Amino acid sequence: MAPRKLAAGNWKMNGDLAALSQIDAIVAGRETGCDVLICPPAVLLHPMVARIGGGDLLVGGQDCHHAGSGAHTGDIAAAQLADAGASHVILGHSERRADHGETDADVAAKARAAHDAGLIAIICVGETEAERDAGTTLDVIAAQLQGSIPDCATSANTVIAYEPVWAIGTGRTPDNAQIAEVHAMIRDALSATLPDVSLLYGGSVKAANATEIFAIDNVDGALVGGASLKAADFLPIVSALAAS
């Protein structure tokens, strides 16, 4: 079975209730041929689900705690995301790893909790600029994969997103050969355990480069940041993926 195509938008800490009008345009303008997911801030998750009203657009969280409940002020459990209508959750994003000190073990524990709650875990991996310059990219990604993916992961409940840290929000992207090299390594590394897992590329994906990126072998979609905030910017990316 071929991996599913997925265009995922990560709104990060952006948006308010008024921004949900963008969802109307995304729902109206999206094409068939790929799955479309938006991960808003947690306070917008349920209002977004309610606004969609059972449409084809998927909604997800941006993080979850590894515990099911408890004294964890400010955190959110995977089951709570699912209860609010989420189908996915982003885990191990470089901003979480850098800003909150999350380790591979933390990401694996969160992914296990997500799977227990019936969510699809989008597990992020990626190298820093220093690691890229040192020539250790593939070693870094391999170690993150080994440490961040729990034993309960399957091709159905897990998505892998490769996001080179130095390309996130900078306008810079690796060249096609660099993206192809990393995605081929990930596909090979997971061929025995997650043979049909979807592999997303993330890092300054926009309408101008989407078609070229989606033509690269083993790229099954994208995890999009800033360009997912407005329908006019996001829909051309969705269309490019649907046509790939």
Known catalytic residues are 93, 163
169 close to 126: Cβ distance less than 8 angstroms: no
Alpha-carbon distance 87 to 48, whole Å? Answer: 13
Separation between Cα atoms, residue 103 and residue 147, nearest integer Å: 9
CA separation for the pair 64, 74 (Å, rounded):
11
CA distance 6 to 197: 11
Helix, strand, coil tally for the chain in percent (to 5) = 45, 15, 40
Residue 47: CB atoms within 10 Å: 15
Dist. CA 104–CA 102, nearest whole Å: 7
Residues facing residue 159 across a β-bridge: 122, 198
Q: How far is CA 2 from the centre of its chain?
A: 18
Closest among 92, 7, 6, 77 to 42, alpha carbons compared: 77
Alpha-carbon distance 200 to 96, whole Å?
Answer: 18
Residue with the two structure tokens 């997911």: 37
Q: Residue 79: what are its φ and ψ, rounded to 5°?
A: -65, -30
